[in-house]
Amino acid sequence: MLAYLIRRVLWMIPTFLIILIINFGILRLQRPPLSYEMSGGQSQEEAGSRDAEKGQANLKNHLGRLKRTGNNLPSLINLRGFVDKDDMIEILEDLQSKTGVKESERYEQELELMISGHMSVEPLVEILKDESLKSLHGPASQAFMMCAYTPLNYEDRFEYSSEELGEIQLRNKSLADMAINYTNEIDKAFKVDDENYESKRENILNYYQRHQSIYVQSERRWGAIFGDTGFMVFMGKLFTGKLWSETKKRYVFEVIAERWQVTLWLNIFSIMIAWGIAIPLGIRSARQKGTLEDKTTTNILFFLWSLPSFFIGSLLLHHLCTDSSTGAALFPHRGLSSDDSLWYGTLRYLLDIAYHGLLPLIVLTYASFTVLSRYMRSNLLEQLNADYVRTARAKGANEDKIVYGHSLRNSMITMVTLGAGLISELFAGFIIVETIFTIPGLGLLLLDAVLQEDAPLVMGSAVISVTLLMVGFLIADVLYAVVDPRIRSQYG
């Protein structure tokens, strides 16, 4: 039995990792375009309206944040260290406006270069040194200014001493005013358009001369292939608990810690209710197969099943939870407890919670009755038609003993599998129920995170829900062993 359990737990680890990678991949695909991120997040509030007074955002000022989220790095493989002068020339030439190339795509590429950091400095300087490449010196100088910049954020306060910080700040400061102006007209080559071209270029080369040691990256490039990637930054933050939510301005797990209990309790109760009602219903239906009662329950359950829960939820909210002109509402419209429930005695407190939780639980569970009880019914029927039941009947065993003593236990095996899946299904249901009844749980949090495109928070919530699912599977595995003697005997 122990061996069985250990095996199950060990299996969870690769599953967990794979789910994480897939999740991360999808979120990274969904990463908002850099240009959008840097324009300062225009709100969608007023259907398609934009702020007319929004100024051009300051690009450098975004670097600290990008560095913090790992969004300045490639997702899974980082080959920036292998870009040499020729590659860089190609990259720069691609930034040329051309007919047929959409400006937003071109701009996105430009931004990608701008945020690529110290690894791009060396090839850029080589281009700037080369007099024959003068036409590229405009964009190269701008990229140089951005790439040579060392973004700082609050975490660096603890990593560097004051003197080191001062040094970096001084260095960053001296990087101003080095951009060589240039023209980028459609289908024409870049052209330097700057009176101070010579002095600016000299500045750049001088600067590089002085700080060369910082920017030589050839030793680091192999380690960076897998080390300096968005995924590694993310994993590092995940396992040290430092995942940071930009929209909440707090650590992700701190936010989740406040919310998960509510969802878990709702989960436990709704599973208990769903099973507590669906299984007896299924048994009763199976035993009375074909009667009017069986048909009625079946029809009612399918009717319920076909009603979407957001619809039922809103209906209940508007009709049972809203004060009318004639009287107060039957049920509370929000939360899981009254405002002053802290002052209630414990029994009243529990009753208060039950009163608040009733409608949300109904909305969460009514749909699962159908599936569960239908499965229960058909499984039990299958068992009741089996040979051993006929034998038992022939021996004259009474019907209750046959159903509860023999068939039920056998038909529970399928139900256990269903149960594990149910946990994750309910998790989706919470988003709707928590939004409608304003319950501060994980569902509401997740919805918020998705709407505000807060990737770390979404990932954090996903990790929690995956963990819940895994735990669900583990419990199911244990229950298998309980209901199925074959598994127990296999593992001794």
Q: State which of positions 168-187 bind other proteins (CB under 8 A).
A: 169, 172-173
Amino acid at 132: S
Contact with other proteins (CB under 8 A) among 10, 14, 131, 162: 162
Contact with other proteins (CB under 8 A) among 132, 327, 343, 400: 343
Contact with other proteins (CB under 8 A) among 2, 14, 29, 46: 46
> Cβ of residue 52: shortest distance to other proteins, in angstroms?
5
Could you tell me the CA-to-CA distances from 257 to 221, 244, 335, 463, 485 in Å, in that order?
39, 14, 18, 13, 39
Question: Which part of the chain contacts other proteins (CB under 8 A), choosing from 125-133, 197-205, 340-348, 358-366?
Answer: 340-348
Q: Please give the structure tokens belonging to residue 455.
A: 């990737």
Length of the chain: 492
Which residue lies nearer to other proteins by CB, 59 or 478? 59
Contact with other proteins (CB under 8 A) among 57, 205, 257, 272: 57
Question: Which part of the chain contacts other proteins (CB under 8 A), choosing from 138-146, 163-171, 410-418, 481-489?
Answer: 163-171
Q: State which of positions 70-99 bind other proteins (CB under 8 A).
A: 97
Asked whether position 49 contacts other proteins by CB under 8 A, the answer is yes
> Cβ of residue 261: shortest distance to other proteins, in angstroms?
13
Asked whether position 104 contacts other proteins by CB under 8 A, the answer is yes
Which residue lies nearer to other proteins by CB, 294 or 448? 448
Which residue lies nearer to other proteins by CB, 239 or 343? 343
Q: State which of positions 435-464 bind other proteins (CB under 8 A).
A: 435-438, 440, 444, 448
CA angle 237, 239, 240 (to 5 degrees): 65
Question: Which part of the chain contacts other proteins (CB under 8 A), choosing from 40-48, 140-148, 194-202, 388-396?
Answer: 40-48
Q: What is the dihedral of CA 331, 336, 339, 341, to 10 degrees?
A: 100
Q: Please give the structure tokens belonging to residue 442.
A: 């994980």
Asked whether position 29 contacts other proteins by CB under 8 A, the answer is no
CA angle 335, 337, 338 (to 5 degrees): 100
Tally of CA atoms within 13 A in the half-sphere of 58 that contains its CB: 5
Amino acid at 363: V
Which residue lies nearer to other proteins by CB, 7 or 157? 157
Which residue lies nearer to other proteins by CB, 179 or 384? 179
Q: State which of positions 229-248 bind other proteins (CB under 8 A).
A: 247-248
Partners of 251 in beta bridges: 244
Q: How many residues bind other proteins (CB under 8 A)?
A: 71
CA angle 182, 187, 190 (to 5 degrees): 20
Amino acid at 210: R
> Cβ of residue 324: shortest distance to other proteins, in angstroms?
8
Q: State which of positions 248-267 bind other proteins (CB under 8 A).
A: 248-250
Asked whether position 486 contacts other proteins by CB under 8 A, the answer is no
Q: State which of positions 210-229 bind other proteins (CB under 8 A).
A: none
Q: Please give the structure tokens belonging to residue 291.
A: 């009667």
Which residue lies nearer to other proteins by CB, 211 or 248? 248
3-state secondary structure of 71: coil
Contact with other proteins (CB under 8 A) among 99, 209, 240, 325: 325
Return d(Cα 82, Cα 126) in angstroms, integer. 14
Q: Please give the structure tokens belonging to residue 210.
A: 């002085």
Asked whether position 400 contacts other proteins by CB under 8 A, the answer is no
Can you say whether the dihedral through the CA atoms of 387, 393, 399, 405 is positive or negative? Answer: negative
Asked whether position 32 contacts other proteins by CB under 8 A, the answer is yes
- What lies within 8 Å, CB to CB, of 445 at 6+ separation is 255, 256, 259, 457, 461
> Cβ of residue 435: shortest distance to other proteins, in angstroms?
5
Tally of CA atoms within 13 A in the half-sphere of 263 that contains its CB: 28
Q: Residue 212, Cβ neighbours under 10 Å: how many?
A: 12
Which residue lies nearer to other proteins by CB, 103 or 399? 103
Instruction: Say if CB 487 and CB 4 are below 8 A apart.
Output: yes
Q: Name the nearest CA neighbour of 90 among 109, 76, 103.
A: 109
DSSP label at residue 95: T
Q: Name the nearest CA neighbour of 66 among 112, 21, 22, 122.
A: 112
Return d(Cα 369, Cα 273) in angstroms, integer. 9
> Cβ of residue 483: shortest distance to other proteins, in angstroms?
20
Asked whether position 318 contacts other proteins by CB under 8 A, the answer is yes
Q: Residue 436, Cβ neighbours under 10 Å: how many?
A: 22
Question: Which part of the chain contacts other proteins (CB under 8 A), choosing from 14-22, 321-329, 386-394, 407-415?
Answer: 321-329
Q: Which helix (H) or strand (E) holds 182?
A: strand 182-183
Which residue lies nearer to other proteins by CB, 87 or 108? 108
> Cβ of residue 358: shortest distance to other proteins, in angstroms?
17
Asked whether position 197 contacts other proteins by CB under 8 A, the answer is no
Asked whether position 35 contacts other proteins by CB under 8 A, the answer is yes
